[in-house]
Amino acid sequence: QQQVKQSPQSLIVQKGGISIINCAYENTAFDYFPWYQQFPGKGPALLIAIRPDVSEKKEGRFTISFNKSAKQFSLHIMDSQPGDSATYFCAASKADKLIFGTGTRLQVFP
Amino acid sequence: DVKVTQSSRYLVKRTGEKVFLECVQDMDHENMFWYRQDPGLGLRLIYFSYDVKMKEKGDIPEGYSVSREKKERFSLILESASTNQTSMYLCASSLAGTRSLFFGSGTQLSVL
Chain A positions touching chain B (beta carbons under 8 Å): 6, 9, 32, 34, 36, 41-46, 49, 89, 93, 96-103
Report the alpha-carbon distance of residue B6 to residue B3 in Å, rounded: 10
- Tell me what the mean pLDDT of segment A4-19 comes to: 97
Residue A57 lies in a domain: yes
Report the alpha-carbon distance of residue A48 to residue A33 in Å, rounded: 9
Q: Which residues in chain B show pLDDT less than 50?
A: none
Whether A1 has a pLDDT exceeding 60, the answer reads: no
Q: Checking DSSP bridges between strand A56-59 and strand A62-67, what pairing results, if any? A: antiparallel
CATH assignment of the domain containing B25: 2.60.40.10
To the nearest whole number, what is the mean pLDDT of chain A? 95
Residue-level pLDDT at A2: 63
Whether A93 has a pLDDT exceeding 60, the answer reads: yes
Helix (H, G, I), strand (E, B) or coil at B105: coil
Residues in A closer than 8 angstroms to B106, CB to CB, are 42-43
- Given an 8 Å threshold on Cβ–Cβ distance, is A43 in contact with B44? no
Residue-level pLDDT at A17: 98
Residue B102 lies in a domain: no
Residue A39 lies in a domain: yes
CB-based contact A12:A109 (threshold 8 Å): yes
Residue-level pLDDT at B44: 95
